[in-house]
Structure 1
Amino acid sequence: MVSFSKLAMAASLMASAVSASTAAASAYTDKLKDIKHIVFFMQENRAFDHYFGTMAGVRGFKDPNILLTDDKEIWYQPTASSDADYLLPWWLNEDPKYKESTECIIAGSNDWTPNHNSWNFGKINGWVTNNTAWSWGYLKRSDIPTHFSIVEGWTIGDMYQESVIGPTNPNRVTWVSGTININGSYPGDPEVNGGPYIENYETPGCETNGDIKYACYPLKWKTVAEYLEEQGISWFVYQDEDNFDDNPFAWFEQYQDADSGSALATKGVGYAGLEAFYEQAANGTLPQISWIIGPAELSEHPPYRPNDGAWLQQRVLDAITSSPLYNETALIVSYDETGGFGDHVPPVISPNGTVGEWSYDPEHPENFVPSGPGFRVPFYVVSPWTRGGKVFTEPSDHNSQLLFLEQWAKSIGKKFTVKEMNPWRRNHMSNLVNMFDFEHPILDIPAIANHSYPHIDAKGDYDGYSLCTEKYYPTLPFSRPPVPYGKQTKQAALWTEIGHKQVRGQLTEGRFLVFQRGSGVHRYAFAFNDKHKKLIYTSKYAHPENVDLELSDESQRFYVVQVGNEFSHNFYIKSASGYYLHYSGHFYKTQEEASIFTIAYDRQWGYLIMHEGQFLCTKTQSGVAGLCKDAQHFNIFSVSY
């Protein structure tokens, strides 16, 4: 039993730590002004596991914190097939003869109802039965090498979610305004302001379901570009006339009715073209804020090919990294929604009934459901302050990009608040600032896997996807790879690359971790002594050319279990073999015998691991680890070995 005095002391120390952390955060946030240009670039319809489940060092197929549904791990999706009761994730190109055809494969639906059915009230067991068996398929590095090399050059977020459990338009609307006006809460009456915008509807008026009116269009609430305009912050939307109808500003009445030559008309819904972006990046004249809207054929939206989209990403990346502005630019790459592809991580959702988040489903009023956040999508940031192949672990969604923009604007003396964003998102989604290491910018550019120019037809139009669909999917049913019902092993299905990523941001579940400190010739890491069930530390010789030699020791591998919700900083710490750590340094088999540790993140110094006012540390006595009065900061690495 913990004494009152110990709790009081812990509270006092924690208050001091928080106070110091707040002061450091303020100073750190001021460094945001070093960024002079922010580029927002959103692609289409891919899930995190679908692209990066096999990547080393992320919350992928090696996740130790797996959801159980009906005593089955989430990997085992029910099939309703006579060939097998369950389907594990599967590599779409296991048979290489399908490598070309899967470039234009359509897996499932991204609409509101099919995706809520896949979510299935938190069971996450409907990817196969409520979408398709191909929804549970994934790609590897060999399939999307450019994507992998970009991510490994900079920093990926592995807890970044779509904002809405639904399709493109609602997610892109949130991206630029912070809301879809669910339940008429933010910003108000749908018949007056538009919404709740849950589908890709662009017909004036409201959809109806009995007495329910929803998807009222056009939308009429304020967008972030209007806040920028009021603050005198320069901005522009770069798009060609072929923009796949992906520019969310165009769905708002104020842009539709804007006078020719006005800021909203010329900056928000004009067609200057992507070439204008490339030219301005090259000559150093980009505005402070840019949005890039790509053409349909390069969007990666099935059946559009990932590798055609990779070429566009590389084109944008090259324009920025070769620009005289690169050392003051942040390129934020995201995907609007999953496209019907599956992901295994339960969405970080608000408590049932949260205002502005939950409502009776307009399409199925018998159900009371959340609008989001939804499933994870790929997300990464390219800048000198995100170099190094790291992983950012804070719960985030498209609102996070707006929150980051608010923080940045504040740092340059142009404070604004997107009032349309509901309080729960504002208070719980990351503002992404911890993703950046402003103390250690790296200006060199890593090697990127080059991708060939997309195929074009005689008119100069991109036609790679049409050649693919005409060759492989001329008629229904689609000639997709055969589903490996009854032919899978868990080990093969959940294959993951070997390697690691350094962790940034507040810690969350989902990874095997190495806790390491020191920057000299030797580094020190916690380890589990299996014989004595004790926490020890090991000294490893630094291998600058092969860090894997430092991080691959299985005894150093731990994982955490959050106590409370996904935003808690309190954790149980477990060895890779499943033993729980007690503050005494001993390990025990059951959670009841374990201690709860607070793990706090400092952007500059790393992680503190605390228990009742003391700090977990490597002690001076050789090989012994335990609690100390003096703080020791650790780097944390997410490892896959």
Structure 2
Amino acid sequence: MVSRILTATLLSMATSVSAGGLKDIEHVVLFMQENRAFDHYFGTMSGVRGFSDPNVQCNPSTGLNTFQQKVNDGLSTQATSLLPFYINYLGRANWTAASQCASDNTAMSWTHFKRQDLPLHFALAEGWTLADMYQDGVIASTSPNRVTWMSGSINCPGGPQTPDQGGIVTDNSEGPGCESPGLNCEPLYWKTVPEFHEDAGVLWMVYQDEDNFGDDLLIDSFYQYQNPPADSPLTMYGASHPGLDKFYSDAAVGTLPQVSWIVGPAELSEHATYGPQDGAWLQKKILEAVVNGAAYNETLLMISYDETGGWSDHVTPFHSPSGTAGEWIEDPYGAVNHTYTGPGFRVPFTIISPWTRGGHVFTEHADHTSQILFMEEWLETLGYEGVRTTEIPAWRRAHMSNLVSAFDFDNPDYSIPLLPVIPTPSTNSSENYNAASVCELLYGHYGPPIPYGPENEALDPSTLSEEGFKSVRGYLTEGRYLVFEMNGYTLTNPSPNATDFVATKARLNHEDKKQRWVVHATGGTATDGGSGAGSFNVSSAVDGRWVKSDTSLGKGVSGAETYRIEDFGNGKGYTLVKENGKYLTIDGNGMVDIVGTAPAAGSKIWSVTYIPEVREHYGSRLMLCDRS
């Protein structure tokens, strides 16, 4: 261990003079919590793809959008659909306390929290960068997702592994043996990410206490970590239990390894019925260790969740085409037949560092393999060889973001936002955390009664959202109202009778509905972390008219021009490229122009949420299934 600490210190000294890129990072900390969905936590947040999604997806056979979950007579005879509802809608103190230990049983899955319930989660997301298209790796439970997090694969047929390396991992049955032939066969025998790091000379450590909720899948699933020699690096750094106090002390003095994985205790994991408030306390402890530590200026912390745990999200998962090798299976349980394994539903993902400070929304398609892809790019930039794992399926490697575009390395911000006070979790006489058991004893774990009926069915989901905006980072995906700004002006639809769009002075809070646009993917949406661009038609949030040739506006998607919206990366902005290869620009006098060469500086894009304007434009959200 002494030699590893000395190596870390020397690396810190050697790289501290570099600036403006991935080389500025010396430590990456990966912390994964349990079982929460994006909408469940952040659906109300402004500037993200939440309850005000202008591209809400629809079921053509029913005419219902994905906010309207069908209700059968077995659930209620008072309604045919259920829309998202606030978990503390009854408003009394007891219900607020009870929601901490509510479980995601049946229709309770469709609940959501608000800012007042998750002050630390919101503070981290708005202090740094929140990803709103980050998906879990597998539409399944904890173990498959944490196996993906640590290795990049679940051994789906057609992927890099062979059947004799362990059957496809679809659930939490950690063996030994097989659930059935070729299914959940453990132990697993393929190479994990820490092994690639070890072979390349990268310093790494899994920080965990003895109580790790069984979430270190290196120990629980992979053969090579289960009985290695005591002096093996796999034992010392992966299958040991150094404790979270060890992480706090290492962060304080700047001796963290280059890569740290953190596995927390069960009671602080946020897995229902363990409460978000107790998980927030642990998140703050880890965050404060990082930002107050000796090496924060060179440290990146990523906070993710392994899977949704059954809590709801309204976005249909972005996934591979049918039959893609290493991605699709015949459902061994016979429920959905031929199906993709992942990526799954959206889960919260926050990126904390000096280069992601400022309340941005990162919009690229990402999943748990994205954390691996990021480390590959980073470590190769530092000169390491052999860190690119061979275990990630080809489609996943080609189509998941490597997260690099979330960062602005030219303009780091080392300040720390003011963070809320989070109560220390309660303990029993043996000093074991007991908040969940106390909560269940007092309130049960079923939450409030489900609000079936006309009032819920008439709900406009956009009214659940807060108002405000975030700056966009990464290539664009659908799901937000956008403002395009260049040289202090923004693209504007001046009136419902206007034949052309123009540019008008940018507004400080981006609240003018005439300056808001919606992008619609044409099938050329960027799916490669390195491509930085996607292809879209664009419509106005004023009247739904489409951008057509040059600067004209017209009804109907027919004839709408396709724009390639390209991200310069590193916080440098975007270009809007027309079908003819020319660029849409706004000059310093506010004149819209079409030019043949790319502008020297890109436009800023803001993701905005202003609820009354949504209703004024579109009326009821329940009528949005056809906007052609």
Q: Return the TM-score normalized by structure 1.
A: 0.87
Aligned to 1:128: none
Equivalent residue runs for 1:58-457 within 5 Å: 58-69=48-59, 70-80=62-72, 81-97=76-92, 98-108=95-105, 132-183=106-157, 185-189=159-163, 192-208=164-180, 212-250=181-219, 251-364=221-334, 367-415=337-385, 416-457=387-428
Of 527, 535, 539 in structure 1, the residue corresponding to residue 492 of structure 2 is: 527
> Is the partner of 1:500 in helix, strand or coil?
strand
Of 34, 41, 61 in structure 1, the residue corresponding to residue 24 of structure 2 is: 34
> Is the partner of 1:99 in helix, strand or coil?
helix
Alignment partner of 1:617 is 2:585: yes
> Is the partner of 2:449 in helix, strand or coil?
coil
With 327-336 and 448-457 compared, the bigger mean Cα shift is at 448-457
| CA 1:572–1:386: 2 relative to 1, 3 Å | same
Equivalent residue runs for 1:49-64 within 5 Å: 49-64=39-54
Aligned to 1:607: 574
For 1:230 and 1:106, the matched residues in 2 are separated by 42
In the alignment, residue 179 of structure 1 is paired with which amino acid?
Answer: S
Alignment partner of 1:507 is 2:476: yes
**Alpha-carbon offset, residue 482 of structure 1:** 3.3
> Is the partner of 1:156 in helix, strand or coil?
strand
In the alignment, residue 99 of structure 1 is paired with which amino acid?
Answer: T
Cα displacement string for residues 409-441 of structure 1 (whole angstroms, at most 9, x for unaligned residues)? 101111321101010000000000001110100
For 2:115 and 2:524, the matched residues in 1 are separated by 33
| CA 1:184–1:207: 2 relative to 1, 3 Å | farther
| CA 1:610–1:296: 2 relative to 1, 3 Å | same
Aligned to 2:518: 559
CA RMSD across the alignment: 1.7
Gap regions ≥5 residues in structure 1? 1-27, 109-131, 542-546
Aligned to 2:449: 481
Is residue 583–residue 627 contact of structure 1 (8 Å, CA) maintained in 2? no
> Is the partner of 2:310 in helix, strand or coil?
coil
For 1:157 and 1:447, the matched residues in 2 are separated by 21
**Alpha-carbon offset, residue 629 of structure 1:** 2.7
Alignment partner of 1:591 is 2:523: no
**Alpha-carbon offset, residue 565 of structure 1:** 5.2
For 2:339 and 2:47, the matched residues in 1 are separated by 33
Residues paired across the two proteins, number: 571
| CA 1:184–1:615: 2 relative to 1, 3 Å | closer
**Alpha-carbon offset, residue 623 of structure 1:** 5.3
Is residue 29–residue 433 contact of structure 1 (8 Å, CA) maintained in 2? no
Gap regions ≥5 residues in structure 2? 1-17, 528-533, 611-628
Aligned to 2:531: none
Q: Percent identity?
A: 44
Is residue 134–residue 349 contact of structure 2 (8 Å, CA) maintained in 1? yes
For 2:323 and 2:148, the matched residues in 1 are separated by 20
In the alignment, residue 226 of structure 1 is paired with which amino acid?
Answer: E
In the alignment, residue 97 of structure 2 is paired with which amino acid?
Answer: E
Is residue 616–residue 626 contact of structure 1 (8 Å, CA) maintained in 2? yes
> Is the partner of 1:502 in helix, strand or coil?
strand
Aligned to 1:537: 503
For 1:500 and 1:269, the matched residues in 2 are separated by 44
**Alpha-carbon offset, residue 30 of structure 1:** 8.1
For 1:238 and 1:47, the matched residues in 2 are separated by 25
> Is the partner of 2:454 in helix, strand or coil?
coil
For 1:498 and 1:336, the matched residues in 2 are separated by 29
> Is the partner of 1:213 in helix, strand or coil?
coil
For 1:434 and 1:273, the matched residues in 2 are separated by 33
With 38-47 and 560-569 compared, the bigger mean Cα shift is at 560-569
For 1:95 and 1:267, the matched residues in 2 are separated by 47
Is residue 189–residue 224 contact of structure 2 (8 Å, CA) maintained in 1? yes
Aligned to 1:495: 464
| CA 1:480–1:218: 2 relative to 1, 3 Å | farther
Is residue 535–residue 624 contact of structure 1 (8 Å, CA) maintained in 2? no
**Alpha-carbon offset, residue 394 of structure 1:** 0.5
| CA 1:493–1:92: 2 relative to 1, 3 Å | farther
For 2:43 and 2:447, the matched residues in 1 are separated by 24
With 40-49 and 484-493 compared, the bigger mean Cα shift is at 484-493
| CA 1:579–1:630: 2 relative to 1, 3 Å | same
| CA 1:565–1:631: 2 relative to 1, 3 Å | closer
In the alignment, residue 572 of structure 1 is paired with which amino acid?
Answer: N
Is residue 78–residue 452 contact of structure 2 (8 Å, CA) maintained in 1? no
For 1:184 and 1:193, the matched residues in 2 are separated by 13
Aligned to 2:3: none
Is residue 107–residue 450 contact of structure 2 (8 Å, CA) maintained in 1? no
In the alignment, residue 207 of structure 2 is paired with which amino acid?
Answer: Y
> Is the partner of 1:573 in helix, strand or coil?
strand
For 2:64 and 2:464, the matched residues in 1 are separated by 19
In the alignment, residue 56 of structure 1 is paired with which amino acid?
Answer: S
| CA 1:565–1:93: 2 relative to 1, 3 Å | farther
Cα displacement string for residues 84-131 of structure 1 (whole angstroms, at most 9, x for unaligned residues)? 0011111111112211111111113xxxxxxxxxxxxxxxxxxxxxxx
> Is the partner of 2:550 in helix, strand or coil?
coil
> Is the partner of 1:466 in helix, strand or coil?
helix
For 1:346 and 1:494, the matched residues in 2 are separated by 21
Is residue 42–residue 293 contact of structure 1 (8 Å, CA) maintained in 2? yes
Cα displacement string for residues 330-385 of structure 1 (whole angstroms, at most 9, x for unaligned residues)? 00110000010111111011000000000111222871111000000000111000
Is residue 486–residue 585 contact of structure 2 (8 Å, CA) maintained in 1? no
Is residue 520–residue 537 contact of structure 2 (8 Å, CA) maintained in 1? yes
Is residue 135–residue 317 contact of structure 2 (8 Å, CA) maintained in 1? yes
> Is the partner of 1:490 in helix, strand or coil?
coil
**Alpha-carbon offset, residue 242 of structure 1:** 0.5
Aligned to 1:22: none
For 2:169 and 2:448, the matched residues in 1 are separated by 33
